[in-house]
């Protein structure tokens, strides 16, 4: 338990997550006896008939030692059983963040231990989810808060013995001994078949993997920084041996890591290396991976319904996808007369064409010839006059009849 003093600072105040079980009650008692400043959070999911006794155990300890205690009650029946553990995790961390913000801190201490690490490794291997860190980090960022776990080298039985030796009352959650959820099955069935030697070998394997992963993570930071500057990057800049790590890290910013399988990463790499210039792949939780020629990025999925704005006269204003200005580049501008009004500025429609000096051209062909990323095409502004002629596609083409007059309207794409 010497990790406690390595990771915690007596001058800081911490939010401590306490369930009432032996591991978190041991953490609470040790921090209290060593004089750390803290407030306690307990989440009551009402999963069992005796869940309120867990809450009372935590509240009684905090009251006895004059520690501020906050409780969040959640009706588990409102959530699907299939996804409950993930939903519960999000609600729990949201609660931690709320209380941390109230106390002007950003650090939460949790009692995850070595048994949890072992369970995580086995689950990751079973899910074929090995591109990231195997196990649990002692310090990590979760939903924008710093989570500190000082017991990752301590077995659960040691924490249970601590509670017995120091008369710390705790509650056993009998659902931990059931097999309804994946983690419970791993704990109570899969790991029962492992010998101590096999567990030791598993931890050595994970340590070697993590050393390689952390080395690659350090090397890939320069490319992640470049990516964040423009929210995209030319994938040719990234060395082949770091591309998987890079893809994993940018997806992990939006997707819960257990959902990022090795097969998903391999499929993305396959698509990047394909001859297709534009690719969109749906990822978990409404995220898309997008390849636009040489550039790759991850974005939230959008359901675009297009737009169409009508202007009765010359005006200069701003829209979500463009703004109208008196100044701009020549290829953004058009000269309008009274006969042109009302004009429409709208998004692309299948079959759109424009008459240029080189003849009639499909707008879809313009996009391809100019390598316009597929994700930008759906919102690219198109200017249509009162005769329903397309007269301007900013940057890409201008109607031949409007080529030689000085523009009085510039349509600047955002």
Helix H or strand E segment including 290? strand 287-292
Q: Which CATH number fits domain 3-194: 1.10.510.10, 3.40.190.10, 3.40.50.620, 3.40.50.1000?
A: 3.40.50.620
| Alpha-helical segments (H) within 253-296 | 262-272
Q: For residue 223, give the nearest of 244, 202, 203, 254 by alpha carbon.
A: 244
Q: For residue 411, give the nearest of 378, 389, 367, 379 by alpha carbon.
A: 379
Q: What is the pLDDT along the chain (414 residues), one digit of tens a residue?
A: 778 999 999 999 999 999 999 999 999 999 999 999 999 999 998 888 889 999 999 999 999 999 999 999 988 776 666 567 777 888 899 999 999 999 999 999 999 999 999 999 999 998 889 999 999 999 999 888 999 999 999 999 999 999 999 999 999 865 554 444 577 888 888 888 899 999 999 999 999 999 999 999 999 999 999 999 988 999 999 999 999 999 999 998 888 888 898 999 999 999 999 999 989 888 877 788 999 999 999 987 665 567 888 888 888 888 878 889 888 899 999 999 999 999 999 999 888 999 998 899 999 999 989 988 877 888 899 999 999 999 999 999 999 999 888 899 999 887
* Residue 270: predicted pLDDT: 94
List residues bridging with 141 in a β-sheet.
146
Q: How far is CA 303 from the centre of its chain?
A: 19
Question: What three-state secondary structure class fits 238?
Answer: coil
* Residue 283: predicted pLDDT: 85
| Binding-site annotation: residue ranges for ATP | 19-24
* Residue 288: predicted pLDDT: 87
**CB-based contact 139:8 (threshold 8 Å):** no
Per-residue CA distances from 224 to 238, 248, 255 (Å): 10, 11, 16
**Residues whose CB is less than 8 angstroms from the CB of residue 177 and which lie 6 or more positions away in sequence, other chains included:** 184, 188
| Binding-site annotation: residue ranges | 19-24
* Residue 299: predicted pLDDT: 84
* Residue 215: predicted pLDDT: 97
**CB-based contact 183:142 (threshold 8 Å):** no
Q: How far is CA 126 from the centre of its chain?
A: 22
Q: What CATH number labels 199-300?
A: 3.30.465.60
β-strands 13-17, 37-44: how paired?
parallel
* Residue 300: predicted pLDDT: 76
* Residue 116: predicted pLDDT: 94
Per-residue HEC secondary structure of 97-138 comes to HHHHHHCCCCEEECCCEHHHHHHHHHHHHHCCCCCCCCCCCC
* Residue 175: predicted pLDDT: 52
**Residues whose CB is less than 8 angstroms from the CB of residue 7 and which lie 6 or more positions away in sequence, other chains included:** 138, 139, 148, 150
β-strands 13-17, 359-362: how paired?
unpaired
Domain boundaries, the chain: 3-194, 199-300, 308-413
β-strands 145-148, 107-109: how paired?
parallel
* Residue 179: predicted pLDDT: 45
């Amino acid at each position: 338990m010497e990790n406690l003093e390595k990771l915690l600072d007596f001058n800081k105040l911490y939010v401590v997550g306490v369930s009432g079980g032996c591991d978190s009650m041991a953490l609470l008692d040790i921090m209290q006896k060593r004089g750390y400043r803290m407030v306690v959070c307990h989440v009551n999911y009402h999963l069992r008939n005796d869940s309120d006794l867990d809450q009372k155990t935590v509240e009684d300890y905090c009251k006895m030692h004059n520690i501020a205690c906050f409780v969040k009650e959640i009706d588990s029946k409102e959530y699907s059983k299939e996804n409950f553990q993930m939903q519960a995790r999000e609600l729990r961390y949201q609660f931690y963040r709320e209380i941390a913000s109230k106390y002007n801190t950003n650090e939460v201490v949790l009692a995850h231990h070595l048994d949890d690490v072992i369970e995580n490794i086995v689950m990751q291997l079973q899910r074929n989810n090995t591109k990231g860190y195997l196990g649990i980090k002692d310090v990590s960022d979760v939903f924008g808060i710093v989570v500190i776990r000082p017991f990752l080298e301590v077995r659960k039985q040691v924490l249970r013995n601590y509670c017995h030796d120091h008369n710390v009352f705790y509650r056993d959650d009998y659902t931990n001994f059931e097999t309804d959820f994946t983690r419970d099955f791993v704990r109570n069935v899969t790991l029962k078949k492992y010998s101590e030697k096999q567990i030791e070998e598993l931890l050595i394997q994970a340590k070697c993997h993590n050393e390689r992963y952390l080395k690659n993570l350090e090397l890939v930071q320069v490319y992640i920084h470049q990516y964040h500057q423009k929210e995209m990057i030319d994938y040719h800049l990234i060395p082949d041996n770091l591309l998987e790590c890079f893809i994993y890290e940018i997806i992990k910013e939006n997707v819960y890591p257990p959902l990022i399988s090795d097969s998903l990463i391999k499929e993305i790499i396959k698509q990047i290396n394909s001859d297709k210039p534009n690719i969109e792949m749906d990822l978990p939780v409404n995220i898309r991976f997008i390849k636009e020629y040489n550039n790759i990025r991850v974005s939230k999925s959008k359901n675009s319904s297009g737009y169409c704005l009508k202007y009765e006269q010359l005006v200069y204003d701003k829209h979500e996808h463009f703004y109208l200005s008196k100044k701009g580049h020549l290829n953004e501008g058009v000269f309008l007369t009274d006969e042109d009004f009302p004009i429409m500025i709208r998004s692309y429609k299948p079959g759109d064409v424009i008459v240029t000096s080189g003849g009639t051209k499909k707008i879809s062909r313009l996009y391809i010839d100019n390598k316009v990323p597929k994700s930008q095409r759906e919102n690219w502004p198109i200017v249509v006059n009162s005769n329903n002629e397309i007269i301007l596609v900013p940057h890409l083409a201008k109607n031949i009849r409007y080529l030689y007059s000085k523009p009085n309207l510039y349509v600047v794409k955002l």
